[in-house]
Amino acid sequence: MIWLRTTVPLWLLLLVAVLGVGGTGYAGYNYTVTLRAQRDTALQALSEADEKTRRIQKQVQSAVASANAAKAQLKEVLDASPEVRDAATPEPVRVSLCATLRCK
């Protein structure tokens, strides 16, 4: 036990241990606060993305319904006048459409 008399005093060891535990606790607390802030930011971004997705889905549904209504109306008009529906497309119109639609 001779080495106990020549070594560092006990109060200094306790002080170092307390500071070490306290520093580790503070670092852990700080890390937890940072993670919570990142989680809250990510949850907010997710909520905003979900809302944007819902708005886009409503717009797509509206566009599809509008397109279906236009197709039905076009079919009715063409069925009402079969001479127009069954006639060949004029060459200048075909060329213009193929230029726009990039026909092969």
pLDDT of residue 53: 97
Q: Is residue 3 part of a domain?
A: no
Counting Cα atoms < 13 Å in the Cβ hemisphere of 30 gives 6
Per residue of the chain (104 residues), give pLDDT as tens: 555 555 667 777 777 888 888 888 888 888 999 999 999 999 999 999 999 999 999 999 999 999 999 999 999 998 898 888 888 888 898 888 888 887 76
Q: Is residue 70 part of a domain?
A: yes
Q: Is residue 30 part of a domain?
A: yes
Residues ≥6 apart with Cβ < 8 Å to 97: 89, 103
Place of tokens 């006990």: 10
Q: Is residue 36 part of a domain?
A: yes
| CB of 103 closer than 8 Å to CB of 97 | yes
pLDDT of residue 4: 54
Over the stretch 52-69, which tens digit does the pLDDT of each residue have?
A: 999 999 999 999 999 999
SS3 28: helix
- Where in the sequence is the domain holding 19, given as residue range(s)? 10-101
Q: Is residue 18 part of a domain?
A: yes
Domain count, the chain: 1
Exposure string of 10-32, with b = 16+ CB inside 10 Å and e = fewer, is eeeeeeeeeeeeeeeeeeeeeee
